[in-house]
Structure 1
Amino acid sequence: MPTYVTLLNWTDQGVRNYKDTARRSEAFGSALQKLGAKLLSIFWTVGPYDLVAIVEAPDEETATAALLQLGEVGNVRSTTLRAFDPEGMERIITKASG
């Protein structure tokens, strides 16, 4: 399944409700499962982003739907990156090489 790295920043609402952040991450994981995706890991970070989530989803539409649901709650804003494992990168290099 494709992997996505999601960089998250708390909104003002999210900061005000910081005590619920662990519970909210569990709810996000459950919402992903309902869509056929999976939360592989989540980290709370110090720096320009407040959290980093690693998500597997069957396709971009599913990943986007999950992130729309997450954003709708109003606690975070996200930036998502499509990630490739070594095998995926080898396939890309083979295609690029002709």
Structure 2
Amino acid sequence: MNNFQINRALAEMRALAAQAGSQTKAAERTAESDFGDAMKQALGTVNALQQDSGDKQAAFVRGENIALTDVMIASQKSKVAFEAVKQVRNHLLEAYRTVSNMQV
């Protein structure tokens, strides 16, 4: 191989490395935004369930035509959803603490 072929091969390798690096960064950004979007969606769902539960409880107290079972089911759904989000938060905090305590 002469110098020209070596330089050409190195240039191709650098171009491929740069392309692979940009694809990896794009994939990381996508994964981060996917997780963030999933968390936002989960929090939105929990919020909607809690509002629905509160509305049904208020309607029942006002004497509107709503079954007590519907009120209790809505209350339990919001409770379970909130507990699930709370557990995800706890696991994230624990993972953060573990990583921050690692020695480099």
What's the TM-score once normalised by structure 2's chain length?
A: 0.25
Answer 1 or 2: which has greater strand percent.
1
Point out the structure with max Rg over C-alpha.
2
Answer 1 or 2: which has greater helix percent.
2
